[in-house]
Structure 1
């Protein structure tokens, strides 16, 4: 769609508010089925709109009709809104009155997904001017309560997509007849928006999709590397345990444990594709940062290993004076050292992997960085673009569900 310059406009709303009629009025033809008594859209439908005036950089606009938000219940409404808006560059939320609970749920979900929204109040011909003013004020207050100031244009566009006018028949009966749609405010708003920000919205949505794909790719890589990380941690644990068990010198024990822990950190970083910076001060600084985070593990390990190493050293030193009897407890002490080394190495490996991946998750991807630059360039003239700061375009804390993919 980015290559073809075809942005996508998705229409949301409750059942029977006139979503299909709004799109038909824009198209100037009955492309979408309508039902006077009740809504009849049961699945997503699409048509192509050629704007009446040429728009530089855009060929056409895909108009997408959706089922009513109140076709489903409870939390499914939010999931429906999120799924339908996934590929939208712009969302029209069609209202039939004040903001209802399903529409409030959709607004909150659309905000989380970073989609810009235009509010449309349909059937304006059925209210008096005083009633229209009251409705506009009520809708604006409700939207500000839900989203805060500046998130979207709170005043809805007043239209009548399928107005009807009563007519008296010769026999005295009253019938309503269809009159031309009154959607000029919506047409003008859309044309202005597509001219000023159409290509930008299309680019932002493409960058958002790229960032979303990158997050899925990261989860896939975590899943693939989990077994290899467990094997790596296991090898370091066995090597460190064996070295501590057979070595009689306490200082060598501590130095060897520290060296093994540093090597484990470096190899885990390489395994997860987050290589530590080169051999200079930057690498040492990052290692110190990891060491600070894991200080309580390393401190407990070194303290216990030092104590056990001292006991083992004293028992070995006392062997000539005890006729070798002091060597008997040295075996259990060495076994305790080995067990402690295995446990702390595994714990250190898990915490290191979590720390590395969590830090990487907070970094902005290239697509997110580019999207934020596009938003900053335009925000003074289009404050609603601040809504385009979706989760995919921001650094996110490491999710709990992703932690299960670590060793």
Structure 2
């Protein structure tokens, strides 16, 4: 089990790439390492690193490598996201894909070739660094592919899969054997019209990434202390396994945080404890990476209010109660050394045909599958999740340690 944090620089947020200061980065990393965490996830800004389709800035790449080296000196492994893409309500896409040069970022041949070259350069620059974990194609790049994005690059699921596979193949070729993956926000699990699907998340790349945010209707419907709110991360981890072809495929809880006002600041530590404890009860969990390391400096304008206070550390690098809680839970789990036992009871997911999952809205907050899963969780332990197409497959069930299968109708 890995415990880490998504690195948000305390000085200048992700705009720090424009005025990169390695001493500031080192101080940030010292404060992260002091919590006892073992890895970070970092975010190069795509238009800063590749401002022209045929220009990938060598100095920016060298700065990324120096950040990874500094993290390694502090015992922190590093996962790197490529196409940023989207961060904290802001889009960061290069000028050569917008306005006068408007073209689809997933299907335009020149854009896709340039993206392939970009992730190849980043992965290749880090391939010999022992503390480099691998590449994530980008941060929630699926949000560019449909509603509610104000200017989406619309694609079909088949086009999404081709794009993902091409990016993943480029990462693997440049840095063989590392854990290369991709990450979607929860429309991939909850919206039957969305072109990025559960099967994409659970079958492409080295592991499955889930991003758990309870402002998606969960906290609004169930409240800050509700079972669904405190189990949402564990639910997504278990839900993702329904589409995995490999029963042993690891799942990375790559983003999870305590967003105000849905989770009041004074309750952030309790939410952190409940969320992490419930997630640690999921077998096959690779790690938990909290969002985020440091609060956003309030001198920076126009962020949604919830974004300013999500850090485990303050903007001046002091641990917050949630940070102290996360650090304690990491210490306790390492000391215990116990692995989660299989979930022997499974709830059947009726999401339609497997590849597209057109009925996956049943898995969203308020959906019949979601609410049934949470009713079971309220009584003790949430169930495993199994697709209806596999609910009668004895070999599949045995491989996952499932001995009892329930339908939604059976859960009162």
TM-score range, shorter chain: under 0.3
Structure possessing the higher radius of gyration over alpha carbons? 1
- TM-score of the aligned structures, taking structure 2 as reference length: 0.27
Structure that is richer in helix per residue: 1
- TM-score of the aligned structures, taking structure 1 as reference length: 0.27
